[in-house]
Structure 1
Amino acid sequence: MASSIAGIAHLQISLQKILTATNNFSDKNIIGKGGFGNVYRGKLEHDGKMIKIAARRLDRKYGYGDVEFRKEVSALSSLQDTGGIVSMIGFCDEKGEKVIVNQHYRKGSLVMYINGPNGPSFTWKQRLTIAEYLFMAILTIHSDIGKEYIIHRNINSSTILLDDHRWPILSGFEFSIKIPMEQKKRVILSEVIGTKGYIDPAIEKYGGVTYKSDIYSVGVILFELICGRKAFEENRLLAPLAKFHYENGTLKDIIHPDLLDQVEPKLLNKFSQIAYSCLEDDPALRPDAEELLEQVVIPDLVLKVSCFRCVRLEESPDVTINDRLPEGTAVWQWRRTPYGRAMGEFDSLLSLLASYAPDRDNPDNWKWSMASDGLFKVNPCC
């Protein structure tokens, strides 16, 4: 069957390599379980180096098989090297085994951080950043990809993984469908499918899905982030609960106190209005991903170099970027972008500064790191 997945033969990985990487699908290597089957961690040689992988092994007892496998491989292969989308290393379709091999994201999934016994794990600021980057990923799949776009159909807090910087990575494409761009406004006939708590009620009403069904799921996730509550817990759905309290002006009653203490009322009102708009009963009234981004985009950050010896950076919103560094001062305008691009921009900044810094020949003095919220943290070394 692998040969029937056209154009991506180069992504095939032998079963023997996967068995070696996962220690013969050892139970000790299981890092997750889902509707597709078990997920195994492992190490695999790829492009000449050993990398950490997550191997998703199809288990037919869950009712899924060739169709779901083909859909996910097809979707991920068309999204290769796309920011915010899970990175597929390859796939295996051999001797009855169907395995999708992705990059391993060791921070787990978003559902692990919504709430917990000690309260919410993420700050309000981190939650807002996650929302922005999630919108970017949704915009990617809903945009023109080879004259097609993708409806995910199973966006939820478990299919959103987190990279080392805790930026969201969209995964779980086994139910996804590719649709010609000219049909974007049509309802696509489909059964009701997805994860309880995130499924668009309009699917049953209209007999199919649109890309706005994904937006409904995003709205549920936004209320999870806002309230510090999961989409379905204690036998209760969050979406109708959040809508009820929003419409009655009592949303604060269901927000975790730790989060409520962190957020300004104006920002809470704006963020909750965005979430509510995603849950509109009429899909046509819901915003698309581009409109969501326009509402929450984080402004550019301008950093001023205040010390060349230790490359100490200070936030300086009242200065602009210079094409050429004047002696003794420098600024760098950095658009907060996820998935490695910002890191590359900062590398470029360091390279640029190196020609001016008095200790440019001593790389040990260039001490910097990236904080979990995406902002740069530079340690003085003077």
Structure 2
Amino acid sequence: MRQHHICGVEVRRKHLPAHWLDLILLLELLLPRHFLPAHSTSNCFLITQNISLLAITHDSNDWAWNYTATSEETIQKSAIVRKKDFVTHLKVALPVPTPFVSTPVSARLPLITLTGIIPFCIVMCFLLGLGLFHFRKRRSRLLQQAKEEEELHDILPHLPTRFSFKELQEETNRFSKLLGSGACGSVYEGTLLDGRKVAVKVLEGFLQRAHQAKDFLAEIATVEHTGHHNIVRLVGFWLQGSHRILIYQFMVRGSLDRWIFGPPADGSHASALDWRQRYNVALGVAQGLDYLHEGCEQPILHSDIKPQNILLSEQFVAKISDFGMSRLMQRDMHSCVMAGVRGTPGYIAPECFLHGSVSKKSDIYSLGIVMLEIVAGRKVLEFSRLNTTAIAALSADGSSAEEAWHLPSWAEKKWEQGCLMDIVDPVLLEESVTCSNVSAYGFDKVEAQRLLYIALWCIQEEPAQRPHASRVVKWLEGCEPNVPQPPHASNSTKPTTLRHSETWLVSYRTSN
């Protein structure tokens, strides 16, 4: 039995260095089968004490061979020549276990950094790609829209001047001076490069749709042809996407409501407009509306006639403005149906509430309301006059108390009672001259009666009973001096649609 004693520690072969494994294999092949384990302890001690000594071999006769670090070749020779039974003591170094070396933090930082940066870069690339996609899509849409608008601009050669937004910012001092605001937008004062003052109206509520841009350009192209002294002239426009701005000529006196519902806007005098000015304003509005309905190549429905949309020049000439709500209508059409009720509460014709039907007669109804306001010097709706008694009196059968808060109902009631002059603004009746029907304010009872008759005709329940604008002009000009008396609207036969509109207005007011 062959024995190999490893001095210092007993280990397995896999722990031995490669050259010792070769030595042991050589000994197993060349040496005899049997050898005696002699002098094991002393030999191990000797080997461990001698640094250069690698192995000691003893045979059965106690012959010994010492092998140093340079004696690998001697081992082979001795083994072949001697061929005795012997025991070999080998000296090997203990296997050095590989120590665990922790990676320093500084070495791990690059890995941690990469682990965080790579997902971040992926997400950022995705977001940038998505943003670029939407940007290019939006840019393509805007370019296409601009191209269509330019084509329309070429197709419609009669469009007014098209301003840039930068020009409008400079001309309005960045929209700093607000003149007024309404349902359609806000109006700002501006000055063109040539020194002309303009009113810049920023329209609101438009969607970014191509067909709406076409309709808008077609409409202002039509308005550009409206050359009438009772129509505010359109100077220019700006259009981009859903944004629209109209530039009108500036009216020094402002809107009519500032002159008939209180002290004058300029504060120059303590009184309101005199009778002659009021009558001429009513005539001017009727003439302007007649031009829109009959004088244009294509009839125009304004759809929002009210004092706020009637401007006054320096000489108090009335001019109809704000075509943001207007709609074009073919000559062979008597009316058009709109998706929703448009206009201002109090000025909307009753049929608009029921059917949404808008026609020339709808504008006539609004004209009649404005005429009543001019004569009475008060607004169509005055909720300050509304009390709980009047609200309680409203019932399903249409009966009510005297509704002073609703000017048309109150005026009709006065007409039924034979007190037509009670409708007239008390300011106009002050300081009256006893020897004449004319007061210090130029008030003329005959003209007042004529104007009130016309107004009551214009606000009739049935559109067919309302006169055309051309006939209203003739009545006011005196071409037809005898204006027929309007029919009485007694409480029992009061128009149901007007009653429904009043009930709706009461509900709206009390719920807000």
What TM-score results when the alignment is normalised by the length of structure 1? 0.69
Matches of 1:97 and 1:285, distance apart in 2? 40
Corresponding residue to 2:467 among 287, 292, 296: 287
1:76 paired with 2:223, answer yes
Matches of 1:110 and 1:64, distance apart in 2? 31
Partner in structure 2 of residue 188 of structure 1:
336
After TM superposition, the structure 1 stretch with the greater mean CA deviation from structure 2, 231-240 or 153-162, is 231-240
1:36 paired with 2:205, answer no
Partner in structure 1 of residue 447 of structure 2:
267
1:121 paired with 2:272, answer yes
Q: Is the 2:420–2:449 Cα contact (8 Å) retained in structure 1?
A: no
1:108 paired with 2:251, answer no
Q: Is the 1:246–1:276 Cα contact (8 Å) retained in structure 2?
A: no
Instruction: Output one character per residue of 1:306-363: Cα deviation in whole Å (capped at 9) or x when no partner.
Output: xxxxxxxxxxxxxxxxxxxxxxxxxxxxxxxxxxxxxxxxxxxxxxxxxxxxxxxxxx
1:237 paired with 2:384, answer no
1:178 paired with 2:325, answer no
Change (3 A) 1:271 1:75: same
- Structure with the larger strand share: 1
Partner in structure 1 of residue 196 of structure 2:
51
Aligned length: 288
Instruction: Output one character per residue of 1:122-145: Cα deviation in whole Å (capped at 9) or x when no partner.
Output: 111111111111111011000142
After TM superposition, the structure 1 stretch with the greater mean CA deviation from structure 2, 30-39 or 208-217, is 30-39
Matches of 1:74 and 1:241, distance apart in 2? 41
1:20 paired with 2:170, answer yes
Corresponding residue to 1:257 among 387, 405, 426: 426
SS for the counterpart of 1:268 is helix
Deviation of 1:243 after TM superposition, in Å, equals 1.9
Matches of 2:369 and 2:308, distance apart in 1? 13
Deviation of 1:251 after TM superposition, in Å, equals 3.1
Q: Is the 1:84–1:137 Cα contact (8 Å) retained in structure 2?
A: yes
1:277 paired with 2:424, answer no
Change (3 A) 1:114 1:291: same
Deviation of 1:250 after TM superposition, in Å, equals 2.2
Matches of 1:219 and 1:78, distance apart in 2? 26
SS for the counterpart of 2:235 is strand
**Identity across the alignment (%):** 28
Matches within 5 A, 1:1-382: 2-3=149-150, 4=152, 6-7=155-156, 8-9=158-159, 11-26=161-176, 29-45=177-193, 49-60=194-205, 67=212, 70=217, 73-79=220-226, 81-94=227-240, 97-116=243-262, 121-146=272-297, 148-183=298-333, 186-190=334-338, 191-234=340-383, 236-261=405-430, 262=439, 263-297=443-477
SS for the counterpart of 1:102 is strand
Partner in structure 2 of residue 355 of structure 1:
none
After TM superposition, the structure 1 stretch with the greater mean CA deviation from structure 2, 252-261 or 9-18, is 252-261
**Higher gyration radius (CA):** 2
Deviation of 1:15 after TM superposition, in Å, equals 1.4
Matches of 1:197 and 1:21, distance apart in 2? 35
Instruction: Output one character per residue of 1:196-222: Cα deviation in whole Å (capped at 9) or x when no partner.
Output: 111111223344011011010010011
Matches of 2:316 and 2:246, distance apart in 1? 23
What TM-score results when the alignment is normalised by the length of structure 2? 0.52
Instruction: Output one character per residue of 1:176-234: Cα deviation in whole Å (capped at 9) or x when no partner.
Output: 11111122xx2311232101111111223344011011010010011111111112223
Matches of 1:141 and 1:257, distance apart in 2? 33
SS for the counterpart of 2:188 is strand
Matches of 2:232 and 2:449, distance apart in 1? 32
SS for the counterpart of 2:247 is strand
RMSD across aligned C-alpha pairs, in angstroms? 2.5
Matches of 2:163 and 2:263, distance apart in 1? 41
Deviation of 1:98 after TM superposition, in Å, equals 2.1
Q: Is the 2:159–2:217 Cα contact (8 Å) retained in structure 1?
A: no
Change (3 A) 1:292 1:91: same
Change (3 A) 1:231 1:15: same
Partner in structure 1 of residue 24 of structure 2:
none
